[in-house]
């Protein structure tokens, strides 16, 4: 029996790295082709039990996409590639929207043109829900969408394209709205790794109290461990219902200010915060908390890793990284 052929876009990112680690531990019967515009910084030899290759491909280049898909002919595609920063989408809205929408369209258009029989996991975002009231929580998949950033609008467009190609051409697509996922290996440009890195710098300097600049710490987010997320992705590839959409979330909300205090307590240091207006997003969603009832019912997935465990693992990772 031949191995499952899985194509991963956005291969060099931290989510892909965790997905490889999940397959390494749970399913070696796979052949992975990773594509990105930048080579991975991690060593592919760290996953000896699975066949992994990497190719530099610009997904905006339709001919390059067609050549690769013709060559590899995947059974599954996990579409992780995107400009994933909401803040960046405000600074470069045209670039962000065109990139995030067109790279996905190129993939599914080529799948339809080549009549490839493969399943696509279209990864979306909780940012699609937009600003909601507390009465709307927890957010379920059937709630109306009110995206309030260029990034979120592009994600909604991706989702609508998924539905068009699924309904019109029968392309096998499963969609997610993934909530804020965090974990080791995440870039410190993102909010929680940024908090950890800056608080560690204060402790490393031998201080027991310090100050960090932040954005709006009153906002509430639903954080889910990336290791739970990739477990959901892999099981949706195998068992998700075609044409369906799934929230991937913890089902619990927490204020960013409470996250800062948790990190400070774990590091046994006192932290004061000062809002830097440059860090405050335009029209930011004040609260995002999801329901994972649908994915739990359909494939039995539930989040398994507690937030405190995630934060401790992240602290350990960044401590080790900064000591090298």
- Residue-wise pLDDT for 169-201, tens only, equals 999 999 999 999 999 999 999 999 999 999 999
d(CA 45, CA 47): 5
Q: What whole-number percentage of the chain has pLDDT above 70?
A: 99
Give CATH 3.40.50.720 domain extents, the chain: 4-182+225-250+290-305
Average pLDDT, the chain: 96
Q: What are the tens digits of pLDDT across the range 65-77?
A: 999 999 999 999 9
**Would you say residue 1 has pLDDT above 80?**
no
Q: Do the beta carbons of residue 62 and residue 105 sit within 8 Å? A: no
- Exposure on the CB side of residue 304, measured as CA atoms within 13 A: 8
Distances (CA, A) of 138 to 23, 85, 150: 31, 23, 24
Q: Kindly state the tokens that stand for 277.
A: 């207006």
pLDDT at 97 over 80: yes
Strands 270-275 vs 30-36: parallel, antiparallel or unpaired:
unpaired
Q: Name the residue with higher pLDDT: 323 or 263.
A: 263
Q: Would the pLDDT of 242 be above 60?
A: yes
Q: Give the residue with greater pLDDT, 86 vs 291.
A: 291
In the chain, which residues fall in CATH 3.90.25.10?
191-220+253-289+310-319
Position 139 pLDDT exceeds 60: yes
266: which residues sit within 8 A by CB, 6+ positions away?
A: 311, 312, 315
Q: Could you confirm whether domain 4-182+225-250+290-305 is CATH 1.10.238.10?
A: no
> Is a pLDDT exceeding 60 seen at residue 324?
no
- Looking at residue 233, its pLDDT comes to 98
Q: In the prediction, which pLDDT does 284 show? A: 82
pLDDT number for residue 281: 81
- Tell me the mean pLDDT in the region 21-29: 95
The CATH homologous superfamily of the domain defined by 191-220+253-289+310-319 = UDP-galactose 4-epimerase, domain 1 (3.90.25.10)
pLDDT tens, position by position, 307-319: 999 999 999 999 9
Q: How far is CA 243 from CA 23, 91, 128, 179, in A?
A: 24, 33, 18, 20
The pLDDT, as a whole number, for residue 57 is 97
**pLDDT at residue 323 tops 80:** no
The pTM for the full model equals 0.96
Query: Would you place residue 283 in the very low, low, confident or very high pLDDT band (cuts 50, 70, 90)?
Result: confident
For residue 87, the model assigns a pLDDT of 87
């Amino acid at each position: 029996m031949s191995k499952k052929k899985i194509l991963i876009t956005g291969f060099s990112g931290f989510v892909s790295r965790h997905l490889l680690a999940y397959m390494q531990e749970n399913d070696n019967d796979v052949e992975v082709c990773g594509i990105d515009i930048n080579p991975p910084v991690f060593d592919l030899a760290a996953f000896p039990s699975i066949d992994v290759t990497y190719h530099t491909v610009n997904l905006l280049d339709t001919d390059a996409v067609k050549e690769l898909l013709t060559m590899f002919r995947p059974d599954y595609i996990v579409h992780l590639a995107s400009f994933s920063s909401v803040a960046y989408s405000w600074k470069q809205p045209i670039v962000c929207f065109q990139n995030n929408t067109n790279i996905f369209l190129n993939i599914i258009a080529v799948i339809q043109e080549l009549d490839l029989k493969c399943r696509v996991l279209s990864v979306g975002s909780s940012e699609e829900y937009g600003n909601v009231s507390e009465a709307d929580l927890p957010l379920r998949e059937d709630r109306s969408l009110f995206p309030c950033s260029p990034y979120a609008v592009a994600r909604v467009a991706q989702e609508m394209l998924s539905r068009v190609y699924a309904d019109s051409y029968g392309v096998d697509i499963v969609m997610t709205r993934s909530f804020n996922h965090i974990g080791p290996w995440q870039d410190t440009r993102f909010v929680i790794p940024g908090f950890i890195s800056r608080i560690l710098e204060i402790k490393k300097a031998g201080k027991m109290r310090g100050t960090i600049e932040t954005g709006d710490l009153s906002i509430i987010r639903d954080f889910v461990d990336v290791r739970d997320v990739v477990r959901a992705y892999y099981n949706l590839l195998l068992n998700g219902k075609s044409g369906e959409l799934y929230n991937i979330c913890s089902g619990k909300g927490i204020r960013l200010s409470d996250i800062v205090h948790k990190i400070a307590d774990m590091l046994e240091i006192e932290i004061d915060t000062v809002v830097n207006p440059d860090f405050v997003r335009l029209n930011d969603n004040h609260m995002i908390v999801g329901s994972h009832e649908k994915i739990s019912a359909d494939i039995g997935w539930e989040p398994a890793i507690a937030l405190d465990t995630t934060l401790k693992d992240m602290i350990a990772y960044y401590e080790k990284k900064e000591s090298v």
